[in-house]
Structure 1
Amino acid sequence: MGRNTVTNSNGTLSTAEKVNKSLQKRYRAEKRFRAYGISAIAFGLLCLVVLFTDIISKGHSAFFQTYVKLDITFDPTEMGVDDPTDANQLATADYDSLIRNALKEQFPEASGRRDRRALYAVVSNGAAFTLREQLKENPQLLNQTVPMWMLADDDIDTYVKHRDDAQGDTFAGRISEKQMGWVDTLIDNNQVESRFNTTFFTSGDSREPEQAGILGALVGSLLTLVVTILLSFPIGVAAAVYLEEYAPQNKFTDFIEVNINNLAAVPSIIFGLLGLAIFIGFFEMQRSLPLVGGLVLTLMTLPTIIISSRAAIKAVPPSVRDAALGLGASKMQMVLHHVLPLAMPGMLTGAIIGFAQALGETAPLLMIGMVAFVVDIPGAITDPATALPVQIFLWSDSPERAFVERTSAAIMVLLAFLISMNTLAIWLRRRLERRW
């Protein structure tokens, strides 16, 4: 027999051999369990890498926009302007004709009606606003011909960004071969330039992708989050203090605790239906307001804040309470001066995570009408607005190819905010927490 193998007179294994085989089997099971865990983590990280790679690869190009340089002649007769200092004349002037004339001079071979319409589509229809602002700032431009960079149309922008990726001479876009030839000519003449897309961060929503931005949705999200913070954090902390320090242990408080835990698991769209029925249906508040969105997200965030705040209060040692009461402090002084300061790091951590969750919510905001098309930047919590997650939802449903990259870019901005808030929560926990 081999080493460690001992048999009885009847040929069966001894107890020591049975124990050794059992240990070896257990060790193999533990190795397999560790391998399963490592595989699960690796698979999760792989999915995360694939997700971020896909989003970044589709969205990084949205941070750059194509511009076309044209020689613009500010003809007063063509525009219908004789006094460039008159605001009314500047507002009603025909700037599109200046852009059309510049394009016709650049490409005189576009003679047919259809060709000219395709030629005019090379430049965005919002380029006229650029000319108006330039003439408003510098009235001396009247009767002069100056080179100016005009915002390109979204289809032209897409072609310029992906023309090198096309197989041969084919391009899967919405522009014609003649438009491709005109754009290639502009590129050869150094009249096409890619610049950082400031419009994406300084403008509101638009039906034209090259003019669309996230500022309106971003301000709407921040206003909604401000309302949520101002309401949910004080109410959540006060509820947690009452339940932990003052509430008696009876069936009523047990019922409250069970319902708070249940509310934390309720789908967010239910809170949207609740807000639709109460705030809009009963109180007759207007739709698409950051105030209403903040109230709905407050209801959704409260259970998370209450649960995390109660856990932080429980973590404070009873000796702190006993010492404060023993020195003559009242119950309220003990809570305000000793328990709350020590529990605040945990409360802030849970609250920030809850706010990050509220920032990324879409379903409850859809129910209260924040899905509306809002171009203007909101200035207060009572102005119509949309939110960044809702803006992403709207853009993802748009048929234009240029909205695909802007959707991914908006997702990148939203992820940056969420990662920043979670990083802040981790930093506060490590910075302020005390170990007992």
Structure 2
Amino acid sequence: MAEDRRLERDGGIAAAVQRTLARRYRAERRFRLFGMIAVAVGLLFLAVLFTAIVSKGYTAFQQTYVLLDVYVDPDVVHVGNLDSADYQGLIKTSLRELFPDVKGRRDKRNLYKLVSSGAGAVLRRMVLEDTSLIGRRLRIWVPADDDVDMVIKGHVDRTLPESQRRLDDQSLAWVEVLERQNRLEKKWNFTFFTAGDSREPELAGIWGATVGSFYTLMITLLLSFPLGAAAAIYLEEFAPRNRWTDVIEVNINNLAAVPSIVFGLLGLAVFLNFFGLPRSSPLVGGLVLTLMTLPTIIIAARAALQSVPPSIRDAALAVGASKMQTVFHHVLPLALPGMLTGTIIGMARALGETAPLLMVGMVAFIVDIPRGLTDAATVLPVQIYLWADSPERAFVEKTSAAIIVLLAFLIVMNAAAVFLRNRYERRW
């Protein structure tokens, strides 16, 4: 009987264990399913985001051009006025020759709007490069107006009522005539990559903002990496463990979580109002971003130093190396890949920042390409912000295209961080 009761008890325990295991396995399967769903939803949102940006922005990499037969009239353009000649007037004359029936003043103004206000600059550049073109008839491609560009790219429904289109029926008829004559063509938009900002969408480019971003990040890198690395080395290797060191470490961790606009307010108060540095300059922008990225770089550099095994330090000290030699000859070379990775991630964050730069004036409308650290400039995120606030439909695709370029830079920087970590990081 006792044996039977023992077997019955053991069987009950085994059954209970099996039920418990079954519940655990079901819970584990549910957890894995929820995790897969979460990853799938995240990837779906990411795919939707990228699809929306690319679908709206890829057309900005092309620009509609109009083929015109332009006579470079010697009475208008001659050696004495090559820079100031009325090149846009010659463009208008060629348009009137294409549509000789246009007589009214209002109709002529609408006709002239088919081409960009920068069309004359194309002719001017050609004449300045080769003065033998004076007195000759040229067939040249000039940029079309942004409204024409939107129609050709299919962003404007031609069947809509005239009141719902920026181009009236007469202008749309002229566009269709140019299409039938094969005088309209989409070409690669070099202007987008080589020009600065403009009030005209077809003439606007990202080169000025790109150069401003380069100068700003150069200042940020030159200041933040040495200061951040030095602070991390001191705090991790040389600083005494006391109350003041703890206070500094806590404040560094807190600064990493401070909203970026607070650093912009600090830059406005200190660098502009107190030191009087030039407003809207990459110098001020770089100083502000240095303050913002320093905590991130210090934290990443300290983590890299902590990852070096204590045996490295002990071995160096055992063979007679000083504390300084141990740190700079043994510990720092091993921690450097991790420090560089943290620095690149900090630079990527700085590249995408807008709020602190708005506070120091880098939101200004700037056409010229900056030539130095103290010239007025803007950066890519601020340029995107300015274009997103513009009413013209053509700036919508410009905004998305600039976002694509910015994302490409960020992906490259993060890929470089991953490469450095995988290529040079030691496995202990």
Indicate the TM-score class for this superposition, using the shorter chain for normalisation.
over 0.9
Instruction: Quote the residue 1:378 is aligned against.
Output: 370
Residues 236 and 309 in structure 1, CA contact (< 8 A), matched pair in contact too: yes
Q: Which runs of 4+ in 1 moved over 6 A?
A: 6-9
Q: How far, CA to CA, are the matches of 1:7 and 1:52 in structure 2?
A: 64
Query: What is the TM-score when the length of structure 2 is the normalising length?
Result: 0.95
CA RMSD, aligned part only?
Answer: 1.7
Equivalent position amino acid for 2:58 in 1? H
1:141: Cα distance to partner?
2.0
1:252 to 237, 244, 247: 244
Residues 72 and 146 in structure 1, CA contact (< 8 A), matched pair in contact too: yes
Instruction: Quote the residue 1:306 is aligned against.
Output: 298
Q: How far, CA to CA, are the matches of 2:353 and 2:242 in structure 1?
A: 35
The answer as to 2:164 corresponding to 1:166 is: no
Instruction: Quote the residue 1:90 is aligned against.
Output: 82
Q: How far, CA to CA, are the matches of 1:170 and 1:349 in structure 2?
A: 56
Per-residue deviation, residues 162-202 of structure 1 (Å, max 9, x unmatched): 17x73757686411111111111111111111110000011
1:292: Cα distance to partner?
0.6
Taking a change above 3 Å as real, the CA distance of residues 343 and 407 of structure 1, as seen in their structure-2 partners, is: same
Q: How far, CA to CA, are the matches of 1:129 and 1:416 in structure 2?
A: 31
Equivalent position amino acid for 1:239 in 2? A
Residues 159 and 173 in structure 1, CA contact (< 8 A), matched pair in contact too: no
Q: How far, CA to CA, are the matches of 1:393 and 1:364 in structure 2?
A: 13
1:76: Cα distance to partner?
2.5
The answer as to 2:353 corresponding to 1:355 is: no
Instruction: Quote the residue 1:35 is aligned against.
Output: 33
Equivalent position amino acid for 1:156 in 2? V
Q: How far, CA to CA, are the matches of 1:8 and 1:321 in structure 2?
A: 62
Q: How far, CA to CA, are the matches of 1:373 and 1:333 in structure 2?
A: 52
Query: What residue ranges of structure 1 are gaps of 5+ in the alignment?
Result: 1-5
Q: How far, CA to CA, are the matches of 2:135 and 2:157 in structure 1?
A: 42
Instruction: Quote the residue 2:120 is aligned against.
Output: 128
Instruction: Quote the residue 2:21 is aligned against.
Output: 23
1:4-403 equivalent positions in 2, closer than 5 A: 14-77=12-75, 79=76, 81=77, 83-84=78-79, 86=80, 89-162=81-154, 166=157, 168=159, 173-403=165-395
1:8: Cα distance to partner?
7.3
**Deviation larger for 320-329 or 407-416:** 320-329
Equivalent position amino acid for 1:320 in 2? I
Query: What residue ranges of structure 2 are gaps of 5+ in the alignment?
Result: 1-5
Residues 216 and 286 in structure 2, CA contact (< 8 A), matched pair in contact too: yes
Q: Tell me the SS of whatever aligns to 2:279.
A: coil
Residues 264 and 359 in structure 2, CA contact (< 8 A), matched pair in contact too: yes
Between the two proteins, the alignment pairs up a number of residues equal to: 421
Equivalent position amino acid for 2:321 in 1? A
1:63: Cα distance to partner?
0.4
Q: Tell me the SS of whatever aligns to 1:256.
A: helix
Q: Tell me the SS of whatever aligns to 1:14.
A: helix
1:7: Cα distance to partner?
11
Q: How far, CA to CA, are the matches of 1:7 and 1:173 in structure 2?
A: 88
1:374: Cα distance to partner?
0.8
Q: How far, CA to CA, are the matches of 1:430 and 1:396 in structure 2?
A: 38
Q: How far, CA to CA, are the matches of 2:356 and 2:165 in structure 1?
A: 36
1:147: Cα distance to partner?
1.3
Residues 212 and 379 in structure 2, CA contact (< 8 A), matched pair in contact too: yes
Q: How far, CA to CA, are the matches of 1:281 and 1:139 in structure 2?
A: 50
Residues 305 and 351 in structure 1, CA contact (< 8 A), matched pair in contact too: yes
Equivalent position amino acid for 1:98 in 2? L
Residues 155 and 173 in structure 1, CA contact (< 8 A), matched pair in contact too: no
Q: How far, CA to CA, are the matches of 2:94 and 2:272 in structure 1?
A: 52
Equivalent position amino acid for 2:26 in 1? R
Residues 151 and 158 in structure 2, CA contact (< 8 A), matched pair in contact too: no
Per-residue deviation, residues 263-290 of structure 1 (Å, max 9, x unmatched): 1111111111111111112111121010
Q: How far, CA to CA, are the matches of 1:169 and 1:251 in structure 2?
A: 72
Taking a change above 3 Å as real, the CA distance of residues 247 and 169 of structure 1, as seen in their structure-2 partners, is: closer
Q: Tell me the SS of whatever aligns to 2:66.
A: strand
Q: How far, CA to CA, are the matches of 2:84 and 2:107 in structure 1?
A: 27
Q: Tell me the SS of whatever aligns to 2:82.
A: helix
Q: How far, CA to CA, are the matches of 2:305 and 2:135 in structure 1?
A: 74
Q: Tell me the SS of whatever aligns to 2:223.
A: helix
Instruction: Quote the residue 1:435 is aligned against.
Output: 427
Q: How far, CA to CA, are the matches of 2:405 and 2:142 in structure 1?
A: 26
Q: Percent identity?
A: 61
The answer as to 2:407 corresponding to 1:415 is: yes
Q: How far, CA to CA, are the matches of 1:117 and 1:166 in structure 2?
A: 23
Equivalent position amino acid for 2:21 in 1? L
Instruction: Quote the residue 1:3 is aligned against.
Output: none
